[in-house]
């Protein structure tokens, strides 16, 4: 079944011409990845190791994503209204960037509450209990504390076992992928001992109000259960193309809430990284079966289109098919439907794209191979692949995937600007007395059977963050 989304007509126009600047790395010359490139790595020790990791994973019945769910704040902004307020043609945002709506966090929502909501949903969807989780990694680039990780708050809110390994990963938007690949290795190495890993990507993407980055904000979390014998997507373990380079394309100094970005350079860095990671992946991967679909990191939909076009060029495929209604519409567009209604969620963007793809057409994709491209500014990138498992569609259909997008509050521009203004002091807001009283009384545990949600109350006199569940 191919699911059609109401109100998300997605028309991207124009085609990106891939050029190399003096500042960017000449990937095309250092990593020749023509279709005829010899599989020079296949006999190397690297490849032998990849094969042995893959064999270990196969002996476990495969390793990959067993369940996935997302959460967004309760409010959103229409990009056409933002365009009107900023004196910009609405098509620049809806078509030129490919985003229709941006999720905006309110004062009681932060990366912890979004992570808790997504994790709660994924546990419910999977039918697993918190006791089955042996590893919990939270990927974020909008951490709430320089020391205490979001994973620790999550540990308390979900009631995860004390024997669980818990930590946070940061590398811009790549942090969630770092967690996912770590979890896959943890399972393939035998450390899981039958347990599952909970990987949560959570972020609030903020740029300065009125800046070029403003229409590429968003907020949300994606939670994934990673396990042996996964029911949704079995990953090709050990076969992954990595790329890294020290660049200043996007950064957020410790004292800032808003990110700083060299926007057009960041796009170039993303595309260079795709060329590098994809080239590495092709040296390792079995190319006999083409990728039926590819999900890309989606800061905004148009960039996924540019990425797809670049991959077509690298594959020696017809460019015009990528620019027209051909391969892009089939291979990428379904993955952009949920992101177009949420905006950039940094670490979770790629996985929201994956969920969008599964939600759109899991039945058609069962047994098919899909590619995944993760990019984190700074920069690090990874290209890897997996196979949609038979039975995935039934699981997705049972989930009510899009529920978080229903009944959201549509913000006016003054409401949005007031929220952004309040953001500046949110981390110093004193918690109400009733919640401050809960400190020291043990964890507030989200009840898996209920619909209750975590909320951020503020800080106590010792500057500890206080959460309640209601
Ligand atoms: N109708 C249709 N399309 C229009 C239009 C109109 N009226 N007016 C403009 N456009 C098109 C432009 O042609 C352009 O398309 P192309 O890229 O295909 O040429 C597109 O709309 C955007 O226009 P501009 O390039 O003029 O936009 P801008 O300069 O104002 O800003 C941006 C664009 C640089 C992406 C900016 O939004 C930004 O800095 N965003 C944050 C950084 C970011 O997201 N970078 C992505 C890579 S980094 C990464 O991936 C990590 C991460 O998550 C941050």
Mean pLDDT, consecutive 10-residue segments, the chain of 470 residues? Answer: 43 34 34 36 62 82 97 98 98 98 97 97 95 98 97 95 98 98 97 97 98 98 98 97 98 95 98 98 92 98 97 84 70 98 98 98 98 98 98 97 96 98 92 56 69 90 91
Q: Are 241 and 277 in contact (CB under 8 A)?
A: yes
Q: Are 217 and 104 in contact (CB under 8 A)?
A: yes
Give 216 Cα–ligand 1 centroid separation in angstroms. 8
In a domain, 1, yes or no: no
* Beta-bridge partners for 387: 234, 369
Q: Are 179 and 138 in contact (CB under 8 A)?
A: yes
In a domain, 124, yes or no: yes
Tell me, yes or no, whether 352 and 449 share the same domain.
no
In a domain, 15, yes or no: no
In a domain, 308, yes or no: yes
- Token output for 271: 């595309």
Q: How is residue 344 annotated by DSSP? A: -
Give 79 Cα–ligand 1 centroid separation in angstroms. 14
Tell me, yes or no, whether 220 and 251 share the same domain.
yes
Give 97 Cα–ligand 1 centroid separation in angstroms. 6
Q: Please report which helix (H) or strand (E) contains residue 184, including its range.
A: helix 175-188
Q: Which residues are catalytic?
A: 141, 173, 297
Rounded CA-CA distance 175/190 in Å is: 23
In a domain, 17, yes or no: no
Q: Please report which helix (H) or strand (E) contains residue 279, including its range.
A: helix 263-284
Which is the closest atom of ligand 1 to the Cα of 90? 7
Q: Provide the 3-class DSSP secondary structure of residue 317.
A: coil
Domain that holds residue 462: 425-469
Tell me, yes or no, whether 339 and 452 share the same domain.
no
Residue closest via CA to ligand 1's atom 43 equals 263
Residue 443: the pLDDT is 58
Tell me, yes or no, whether 412 and 435 share the same domain.
no
The CATH number of whichever domain residue 310 belongs to comes to 3.40.47.10
Tell me, yes or no, whether 371 and 440 share the same domain.
no
Residue closest via CA to ligand 1's atom 14 equals 96
Tell me, yes or no, whether 60 and 124 share the same domain.
yes
Work out how many domains the chain is built from and give that number: 2
In a domain, 6, yes or no: no
In a domain, 67, yes or no: yes
In a domain, 9, yes or no: no
**Rounded to whole angstroms, what are the CA distances from 150 to 5, 30, 139?**
33, 39, 9
Tell me, yes or no, whether 294 and 438 share the same domain.
no
Cβ(263) – ligand 1 distance below 6 Å: yes
Query: Residue 286 contacts by C-beta under 8 Å, 6 or more apart in sequence?
Result: none
Tell me, yes or no, whether 405 and 431 share the same domain.
no
Rounded CA-CA distance 300/336 in Å is: 9
Cβ(17) – ligand 1 distance below 6 Å: no
Q: How is residue 295 annotated by DSSP? A: E
Give 93 Cα–ligand 1 centroid separation in angstroms. 8
User: What is the C-alpha end-to-end distance of the chain, expressed in Å?
Assistant: 37
Cβ(386) – ligand 1 distance below 6 Å: no
Return the axis-axis angle of helices 263-284 and 45-59, rounded to nearest 10°: 80
Tell me, yes or no, whether 462 and 314 share the same domain.
no
Cβ(96) – ligand 1 distance below 6 Å: yes
pTM exceeds 0.95 for this model: no
Tell me, yes or no, whether 191 and 236 share the same domain.
yes
What is the DSSP pairing of strand 465-469 with strand 454-459? Answer: antiparallel
- Token output for 180: 């996912």
Which is the closest atom of ligand 1 to the Cα of 300? 44
């Amino acid at each position: 079944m191919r699911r059609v989304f109401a109100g998300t007509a997605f028309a991207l126009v124009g085609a990106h011409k891939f050029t190399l600047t003096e500042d960017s790395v000449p990937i095309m010359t250092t990593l020749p990845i023509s279709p005829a490139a010899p599989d020079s790595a296949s006999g190397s020790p690297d490849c032998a190791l990849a094969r042995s990791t893959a064999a270990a994973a196969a002996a476990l019945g495969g390793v990959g994503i067993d369940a996935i769910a997302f959460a967004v704040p309760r409010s959103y902004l229409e990009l056409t209204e933002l365009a009107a307020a900023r004196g910009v043609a609405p098509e620049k945002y809806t078509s030129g960037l490919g985003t229709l709506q941006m999720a905006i966090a309110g004062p009681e929502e932060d990366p912890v509450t979004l992570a808790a909501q997504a994790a709660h949903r994924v546990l419910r969807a999977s039918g697993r209990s918190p006791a089955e989780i042996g590893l919990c990694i939270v990927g974020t680039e909008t951490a709430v504390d320089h020391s205490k990780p979001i994973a620790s708050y999550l540990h308390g809110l979900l009631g995860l076992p004390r024997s669980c390994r818990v930590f946070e990963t940061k590398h811009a938007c790549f942090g969630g992928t770092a967690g996912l690949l770590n979890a896959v290795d943890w399972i393939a190495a035998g450390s899981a001992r039958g347990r599952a890993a909970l990987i949560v990507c959570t972020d609030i993407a903020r740029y300065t109000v009125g800046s070029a980055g403003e229409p590429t904000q968003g907020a949300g979390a994606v939670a994934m259960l990673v396990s042996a014998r996964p029911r949704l997507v079995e990953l090709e373990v050990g076969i992954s193309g990595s790329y890294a380079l020290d660049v200043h394309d996007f950064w957020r100094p410790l004292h800032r809430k808003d990110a700083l970005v060299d926007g057009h350079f960041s796009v170039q860095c993303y595309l260079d990284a795709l060329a590098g990671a994809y080239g590495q992946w092709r040296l390792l991967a079995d190319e006999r079966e083409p990728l039926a679909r590819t999900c890309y990191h989606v800061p905004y939909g148009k960039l996924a289109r540019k990425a797809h076009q670049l991959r077509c060029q690298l594959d020696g495929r017809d460019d015009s098919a990528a620019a027209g209604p051909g391969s892009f519409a089939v291979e990428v567009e379904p993955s952009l439907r949920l992101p177009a209604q949420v905006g950039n969620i940094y670490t979770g963007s790629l996985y929201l794209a994956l969920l969008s793809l599964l939600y759109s057409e899991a039945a058609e994709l069962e047994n098919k191979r899909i590619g995944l491209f993760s990019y984190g500014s700074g920069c690090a990138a990874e290209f890897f692949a997996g196979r949609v498992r038979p039975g995935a569609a039934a699981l997705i259909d049972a989930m009510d995937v899009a529920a978080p997008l229903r009944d959201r509050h549509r913000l006016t521009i003054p409401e949005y600007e007031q929220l952004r203004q309040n953001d500046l002091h949110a981390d110093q807001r004193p918690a109400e007395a009733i919640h401050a009283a809960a400190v020291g009384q043990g964890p507030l545990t989200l009840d898996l059977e209920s619909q209750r949600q975590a909320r951020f109350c503020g800080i106590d006199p010792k500057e500890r963050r206080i959460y309640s569940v209601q």
